[in-house]
Structure 1
Amino acid sequence: MLRLVALILLALLLALGVKLWAGDWGLREIARLQGQIAMQKAENAKLKQRNDALAADVEDLRNGKDAIEERARTELGLIKPDEIFYQVVDPDPAVKKNDGH
């Protein structure tokens, strides 16, 4: 009788061990989910940094004329009435210079 109880308890222990390692909420699944959480936290940190930079840009545009002027100059190419505009054009890399060779 004692052997039968010990055998049943051993079988239950083995079944629980298998469930722990390979079940739906086993250790492998938990490790996989923890990896996904770490990746999502890294992505969230990047997005928060981007949002903070955009919020700072919005605040600059709301409060200062310097930021608006800088945007107008860089994005729209606007210049002040008393300024002279010079455009520097890089030579086309497809056109080769004749070195005489």
Structure 2
Amino acid sequence: MSRFAVPVTLVALLVILHGQLWLGRGSVSNVAELRSKLNTQLLKNEQINADNKRLLTEINDLKGGLSMIEEKARMELGMIKANEIYIQIAR
């Protein structure tokens, strides 16, 4: 009986380790899924960082001068100065 105890124990440990490798928390498929989620999140972070940089630039422009404020008012609110004629071209 003792002659088979060590090999049986080693085989049992090997089976448990393989089970963890293929089915457990740190399995190959789980790691691949987590890497995919990480790549997706990194892409989202890059897009958000680009938006943040654009917004910071716009904020600095708005703080720095009136020309940006005037341009925004003209484009978004339809501002017209005194003695100007507004012409809209329909396409």
TM-score > 0.5 by shorter chain? yes
2:59 corresponds to which residue?
A: 58
Q: Normalised by the size of structure 1, how large is the TM-score?
A: 0.78
Q: Single out whichever of 51-60 and 7-16 deviates more from structure 2.
A: 7-16
Structure 2 unmatched runs, 5+: none
Deviating above 4 A after TM superposition, structure 1's stretches of 4 or more consecutive aligned residues are: none
More helix by percentage: 2
* TM-score of the two chains, using structure 2 as the length reference: 0.86
Q: How large is the Cα RMSD of the aligned pairs?
A: 1.5
Measure, in 1, the Cα distance between the counterparts of 2:9 and 2:69: 78
2:66 aligned partner, one-letter code: K
Deviations 1:23-82 (A, max 9, x none): 122222121111111111111111111111111111100001110110011111112223
Could you tell me which residue of structure 1 aligns to residue 69 of structure 2? 68
Distance 1:34 1:89 in 2: 50
- Structure 1 stretches of 5 or more lacking a match? 91-101
Corresponding residue pairs, total: 90
Q: Which structure has the larger Rg?
A: 1
Q: Does 1:36 align with 2:44?
A: no
